[in-house]
Amino acid sequence: MAVHPPEARIWWNEPVPKGELLWVAVAFLWGVVMFVMMIWWHLEGRQNLSTEVYRIDPEVFRSRVEAFVERHKVGEEGTTGIPVARVPPGGDAYMLGRLWEWWPVLELEKGKTYRLHLSSLDWQHGFSLQPVNINIQVHPGIEHVLTITPTQAGVFSVVCNEFCGVGHHQMTGRIRVVEPGTGG
């Protein structure tokens, strides 16, 4: 029994039953398949997380995002007063997370590729793009540059999904994706 010392003193030389050995082999090979799958997706798949990352002072990031908004502001989101920045196709888009908002609202064109710069000004936040369901962790002091291509037009929401204090559930943002040439 499993509560007694092994029956055979030299238990490590006992033969292993064939069925058990087969299962070990199957399980091992399945592990190799799953391991290779991740590497293969880096080579052939189109959804891989960027590793382009910079250390940045939160104040510097804030001033960059503000300059970006000044350059590209095309209006405000409804009555909220939150600026909407229309990003030139293929250009750099900035979004910052802070207690408790994602700022600003971005307008992108469907099918175009953008460099999206993310960072936080205070605590950690979670960039959860819904309903697409892309989820990325955002840290203060680190600028993460993603290359991303929206493939659907519509209004998408950014929900904060890293707990960030008592206003966490109010922390949202928005990305508008428009058909090419219909912006504004």
Partner 1 sequence: MATATAGLGGLAGLAARFRTCPVTGLKVDAAAETLIKANAVAAVVFLAIGGFLGVLVALTRWQGVHLLGPDTFYLVLTAHGINALLLWIIFFEVAVLYFASAVILNSRLAAPQMAWAAFVLMVVGALAVNWAVLQGDSSVMFTSYVPMQASPLFYLGLILFAVGALIACFVFFGTLVIAKEEKTYEGSIPLVTFGALSAAIIAVFTIASGAIILIPTFLWSLGYIRHIDSVMYKLVWWGMGHSSQQINVSAHVAVWYLIGALVLGAKPISEKVSRVAFLFYILFLQIASAHHMLVEPGLSAEWKVFNTSYAMYLAVLGSMIHGMTVPGAIEAAQRKRGFTNGIFEWLRKAPWDNPAFAGMFLSLVLFGFLGGISGVVLGAEQLNIMMHNTLYVPGHFHATVVAGTTLAFMAVTYLVLPLIFRREVMFPTLAKWQPYIFAIGVAGTSLFMLGAGTLGVSRRHWDITFSDAALGFDYPGTAFLMLALNGLFAILATVGGALYVIVTVATVLFGERVGPEGPKTPISAAPAAVTAEAVGKYGSAGTLHLPGTYVLITVFFVAFVLYYFVNWKYLSELWPMS
Token digits of residue 2: 């499993």
User: Does 168 interact with partner 1 (rule: CB under 8 A)?
Assistant: yes
CA–CA distances in Å: residue 115 to residues 30, 94, 95, 107, 148: 36, 8, 11, 13, 6
Query: How far apart are the C-alpha atoms of 150 and 166, rounded to whole Å?
Result: 32
Q: Residue 88 Cβ, how far from partner 1 at the closest point, in Å?
A: 19
User: Does 6 interact with partner 1 (rule: CB under 8 A)?
Assistant: yes
Cβ nearer to partner 1, comparing 15 with 184: 15
User: Does 43 interact with partner 1 (rule: CB under 8 A)?
Assistant: no
Neighbouring CB atoms inside 10 A of 5's CB total 8
19: left (phi over 0), alpha (psi -120 to 50) or beta: alpha
* Chain CA centroid to CA 81, Å: 26
Query: How far apart are the C-alpha atoms of 69 and 103, rounded to whole Å?
Result: 9
Cβ nearer to partner 1, comparing 86 with 174: 174
The site for partner 1, by CB under 8 A, has a size of 90
Cβ nearer to partner 1, comparing 6 with 88: 6
Query: How far apart are the C-alpha atoms of 22 and 128, rounded to whole Å?
Result: 42
Q: Residue 183 Cβ, how far from partner 1 at the closest point, in Å?
A: 18
User: Does 181 interact with partner 1 (rule: CB under 8 A)?
Assistant: no
Q: Which of 132, 153, 178, 183 binds partner 1 (CB under 8 A)?
A: 132
Cβ nearer to partner 1, comparing 134 with 178: 134
Q: Name the one range near partner 1 by CB under 8 A: 59-67, 74-82, 87-95.
A: 74-82
Q: Residue 46 Cβ, how far from partner 1 at the closest point, in Å?
A: 4
Q: Name the one range near partner 1 by CB under 8 A: 40-48, 61-69, 85-93.
A: 40-48
Q: Residue 121 Cβ, how far from partner 1 at the closest point, in Å?
A: 11
3-state secondary structure 4-16: CCCCCCCHHHCCC
